[in-house]
Amino acid sequence: MTDFVPLRIGEAAPDFLARSTEGMIRLSDYRGRWLVFFSHPGDFTPVCTSEFIALTQAFNRFEDMGCSLLGHSVDSLFSHLAWLRALHDDLGIRVPFPIVEDPSLEIARAYGMVSAEAHNAASVRAVYFIDPAGIVRALNWYPLAVGRSVGEMLRIVAALKRTDDGSCLAPEGWHPGDPVLAPPGFSKNEALSGDKATAWFYRHMPDEGSSQ
Instruction: Provide the annotated active-site residues.
Output: 48
Give, in order, the Cα–Cα distances in Å from 175 to each of 36, 153, 156, 182.
18, 12, 9, 16
Rounded Cα distance, 23 and 80, in Å: 12
Residues ≥6 apart with Cβ < 8 Å to 153: 36, 38, 127
Cα–Cα distance for residue pair 190/206, rounded to 1 Å: 21
Output the CA torsion 47→108→114→148 (10° steps): -30
SS (H, E, C) 88-143: HHHHCCCCCCCEEECCCCHHHHHCCCCCCCCCCCCCCCEEEEECCCCEEEEEEECC
